[in-house]
Amino acid sequence: VRDTYHQELDRLSLHLVEMTQLVRSAMARASSALLDADLALAEEVINSDSRIDTLRNQVEQNVLELMACQQPVATDLRALLSALPMSSNLERMGDLAAHIADIARRRYPASVVPAELRGMVREMAQIAEQLAGKAGSVIASRDVTTCLELDTDDDQMDQLHTRLLATLLAPDWTHAVETTIDITLAGRYFERYADHAVHLAHHVVYLTTGQTTTHHTAAQP
Amino acid sequence: VRDTYHQELDRLSLHLVEMTQLVRSAMARASSALLDADLALAEEVINSDSRIDTLRNQVEQNVLELMACQQPVATDLRALLSALPMSSNLERMGDLAAHIADIARRRYPASVVPAELRGMVREMAQIAEQLAGKAGSVIASRDVTTCLELDTDDDQMDQLHTRLLATLLAPDWTHAVETTIDITLAGRYFERYADHAVHLAHHVVYLTTGQTTTHHTAAQP
């Protein structure tokens, strides 16, 4: 049997895993809202973001309480402390999903994504969701191999992002300035969402091994 | 005389203040590089970003060591813990300045900012620098009043950001798609830089008062 302190740590991990599920679902719905000009879905994502913020505050509160009551050392201290940046990454992922939903809401009833970009945007959305899912697995399992998978997924995201911007710059791009701005920002939000998932996973590696690892993402577009 | 532990906490604050100076200087140079198509300056900002990352790692390391050796409680624990998100905000501010420099570098020798936007971009750059400066003062003085000033500055930044995007959407905006993308991203980077400065200041309030405060920034463009 695990002692109370370790039960509390487990509970903290479960909270973080729950947050990954929420930000994954937020991203899935935000992307659908963006692709299908679905106002109700967009508003749902925007309105439910506060739930993620609340969970983040709970995680911080729990960390502080555990820190104060238990005075953990070494590995336990690292595990506890890493929950702070992890919850911060998750909160930002929720924000970014809400930003994507907000683009859909602002343009409604018009559709944001032109036909020729639908495939690319759908792919970015899928990678984003996948990254959130894997981030949850990494928290639950502390599996370093899965963590490396996130780096590969993130590289794919960066490539898609570069391709997306290249499409906007091609001579046959003749859409309204509004669309250029929306796609530029949406692309940036997907890419940042992916970055946060990767950082989160690296915090897990840090807590498991005590080694900081850095994943070098591609240069900005 | 202060004891060793509190001397260490002071040293940590000084490190954070030093970081605010570096990210302020990075933003000042990045903005000049953007406005004046100055390649050398842009590269200087990009290359010196690693110095900020190193300081951030040092802050984290110091926090961990102090935590392990001193087992602080209550206020000291809060002061110590808040250094983590603060150093993370500062690292991001450095990244965002480097992103702005990177836009200037990519477009060199062309200039990114069209004549009619120079005033607005210069103003955004000034507010960004001012925010970094005030964030440094707040860390050094823990003055809650200055912290509230940051909220006002950030509101100004949000208004400028909204005006910037409105300019891109006006019928007389006839610049290349490339310029639309660059200005959209640069605007976003300035706005995020300001957000991080505000969050940092709110961490200081938290460490001083134990109360979390949230500054609600304007909705996304």
Q: How far apart are the first and last CA of chain A?
A: 51
Please tell me which residue of chain B has the smallest CA distance to A167: B177
- Reported confidence tier of residue A214, pLDDT bands at 50, 70, 90: low
Helix axes B4-36, B74-107, angle to 10 degrees: 20
- Reported confidence tier of residue B9, pLDDT bands at 50, 70, 90: confident
User: Pick the residue with more confidence: A147 or B118?
Assistant: B118
Beta carbons within 10 angstroms of residue A91's beta carbon: 22
Find the mean pLDDT for residues A190-213: 86
What is the pLDDT at residue A134? 97
State the nearest Cα–Cα gap between A135 and chain B, in angstroms.
20
Task: For chain B, say whether A188 makes contact (Cβ under 8 Å).
Answer: yes
Contact (CB<8Å) A78/B64: yes
B 42-61 near A (Cβ less than 8 A): 57
Place of tokens 């509101």: B155
Decide if the complex's ipTM is over 0.85.
Answer: yes
**Residue A116 φ then ψ, to 5°:** -70, -10
Contact (CB<8Å) B181/A185: no
Pinpoint the alpha helices (H) of chain B: 4-36, 39-70, 74-107, 115-141, 144-169, 177-209
> B64-90 burial by CB neighbour count: b if 16+ within 10 A, else e?
bebbeebebeeebbbbbbbbbbbbbbb
Contacts of B84 in chain A (CB under 8 A): 81, 84-85
Q: Are B183 and B112 in contact (CB under 8 A)?
A: yes
What is the pLDDT at residue B171? 95
Structure tokens at B172: 């007389």
With a cut of 60, say whether residue A121 has pLDDT above it.
yes
With a cut of 80, say whether residue B209 has pLDDT above it.
no
With a cut of 90, say whether residue A80 has pLDDT above it.
no
Structure tokens at A95: 């924000």
What is the pLDDT at residue B199? 95
Q: Are B112 and B37 in contact (CB under 8 A)?
A: yes
What is the pLDDT at residue A8? 87
What is the pLDDT at residue A218? 47
Q: Across chain A, what does the average pLDDT equal? A: 91
CA torsion through residues B8, B9, B14, B15, sign: positive
With a cut of 70, say whether residue B108 has pLDDT above it.
yes
The tens digit of pLDDT for each residue in A165-188 reads 999 999 999 999 999 999 999 999
With a cut of 70, say whether residue A210 has pLDDT above it.
no
With a cut of 80, say whether residue B90 has pLDDT above it.
yes
Structure tokens at A140: 């639950």
Find the mean pLDDT for residues B197-213: 80
With a cut of 90, say whether residue A3 has pLDDT above it.
no
Find the mean pLDDT for residues A43-60: 96
The tens digit of pLDDT for each residue in B125-155 reads 999 999 999 999 999 988 888 888 999 999 9
Q: What whole-number percentage of chain A has pLDDT above 70?
A: 93
What is the pLDDT at residue B210? 66
| Residue of A99, A168, A177 best to disrupt the B interface, most CBs of B under 10 A | A177
| Residue of A46, A69, A184 best to disrupt the B interface, most CBs of B under 10 A | A184
**What's the rounded Cα separation, in Å, for the pair A106 and A90?**
24
Half-sphere exposure of A13 (CA within 13 A, CB side): 20
What is the pLDDT at residue A205? 81
What is the pLDDT at residue B101? 98
- Reported confidence tier of residue B211, pLDDT bands at 50, 70, 90: low
Task: For chain B, say whether A75 makes contact (Cβ under 8 Å).
Answer: no
What is the pLDDT at residue A110? 95
Find the mean pLDDT for residues B176-200: 98
With a cut of 70, say whether residue A211 has pLDDT above it.
no
Structure tokens at B85: 């998100």
The tens digit of pLDDT for each residue in B14-28 reads 999 999 999 999 999
Contact (CB<8Å) B180/A181: yes
State the nearest Cα–Cα gap between B10 and chain A, in angstroms.
21
Q: Across chain B, what does the average pLDDT equal? A: 91
Structure tokens at B158: 């949000």
With a cut of 90, say whether residue B170 has pLDDT above it.
yes
Find the mean pLDDT for residues B188-211: 89
Q: What whole-number percentage of chain B has pLDDT above 90?
A: 72
Find the mean pLDDT for residues B178-184: 98
Q: Closest Cα partner for A105 from A39, A31, A180?
A: A39
With a cut of 60, say whether residue B216 has pLDDT above it.
no
**What's the rounded Cα separation, in Å, for the pair A188 and A161?**
8
Q: How far apart are the first and last CA of chain B?
A: 51
Give how far the C-alpha of residue A19 lies from the chain's centroid of Cα atoms, to the nearest Å. 10
With a cut of 70, say whether residue B36 has pLDDT above it.
yes
What is the pLDDT at residue A213? 60
Which of these ranges, A2-16, A69-83, A181-195, has the smallest mean pLDDT? Answer: A69-83
Place of tokens 């399992």: A141
Structure tokens at B187: 């605007």
With a cut of 60, say whether residue A160 has pLDDT above it.
yes
